[in-house]
Amino acid sequence: MTTTSTKPIKQEQEPEEELPRMSFGDHLDELRKRLIWSILAMLAGVIVVTPFKAEVTDIYVAPYHRMWDSAYADFVEYQREQLARNEAGEIQPPLMEKELEQIRWSLENSEEILSGNFPERAQNQLHNWTGFGIPRSLKALGGLDDFWVFMAATLLFGLIIALPVVLYQVWAFIAAGLYRHERRVVMRLFPAALGLATIGVLFGYFAVVPTGLMFLTRLMDFSNVEPMFGVSQYFSFLLTLTAALGVVFQLPLVMLAVQKVGLMSHASMKKNWRFVILGFFIVSAMVTPPDPMTMIMMAIPMIVLFVIGLLLTARVEARQVAEES
């Protein structure tokens, strides 16, 4: 009687990829080369942007003007009500002639002002002609504020123009030290990270900054405190909020990474959701100005992104369980 022995068949594995060996000096030379190309691309972007001071200024001042238009539209409605109450004799003592002139002028020109057709050379006088307490233009509280803010904005726009070159140089430096499967992971996740960051910045630019400024101005008593926004303070406020939201919107990818490396499972994230939401509000209070409206507008997207991250981690976990079974 003969017996046949069965031996497990070994599957052929792909040979392990060998990364090129580089000395510390080689790494420094490679880093220097990538930095030089990135800096040259940024300088080219700055040179392109510098002649367009008016256009660059209009871009970073647009959220303030959006706030001003909304606040002025509310002020016009208030003036219309005041005029009707004064004509009905409900306001005692009656409005003075100077106040009536401002109200009538404001109501007659409100449509032209809000449409953007009012002459720019006269916009600085709207405060005197309408009686509206918020100035139309930002103020350079220091002699060089406008210059330094424009230079900072120019560097920022130059970086945006040079972003394809800068990203390529960063990737070329990092990719040399990654295995093939690691490069595939980065290439798969990078478009999502860039898209989420862009959405976060645009959300801050179009929604959070104007709403936050509106809330801050509504807290003021114009009879005792006259609002005056400095261009330097405003630009710092704009840059801080938009950059913070660009980082915050990476939350779903961070949750996937935390799950991938085994620091926290989907079940743990779901179980501790109360503490996570509390942390969101604490972070929002630290990053945003001290007003509840801006804090809430930053915390709510974080909660929505956390829910999206839970859905993604649950999907990944279900796929892993299916593969193991």
pLDDT at 77 (0 to 100): 93
pLDDT at 151 (0 to 100): 95
Q: What is the mean pLDDT of residues 86-112?
A: 89
Q: What is the mean pLDDT of residues 79-92?
A: 90
Q: How many CB atoms lie within 10 A of CB 10?
A: 6
pLDDT at 16 (0 to 100): 55
Sorted by sequence, the CB contacts under 8 Å of residue 72 that are 6+ apart come out as: 110, 113, 114, 130, 132, 134
91 and 103 in contact (C-beta within 8 Å)? no
- Does the pLDDT value for residue 120 go beyond 70? yes
Q: What is the mean pLDDT of residues 2-20?
A: 50
d(CA 204, CA 121): 30
Q: Is the dihedral of CA 77, 82, 83, 84 positive or negative?
A: positive
Phi, psi at residue 10, to the nearest 5°? -80, 125
Name residue, tokens 């939201």: 245
Q: How many CB atoms lie within 10 A of CB 260?
A: 11
More confident site: 287 or 141 = 141
Q: Is the dihedral of CA 139, 140, 145, 146 positive or negative?
A: positive
Sorted by sequence, the CB contacts under 8 Å of residue 71 that are 6+ apart come out as: 132, 134, 214, 217, 218
Q: What is the mean pLDDT of residues 70-74?
A: 92
d(CA 36, CA 169): 10
**Given pLDDT bands bounded at 50, 70 and 90, which one contains residue 18?**
low
User: Long-range CB contacts (< 8 A, 24+ apart) of 1-8?
Assistant: none
pLDDT at 8 (0 to 100): 46
pLDDT at 12 (0 to 100): 46
pLDDT at 62 (0 to 100): 95
**Given pLDDT bands bounded at 50, 70 and 90, which one contains residue 7?**
very low
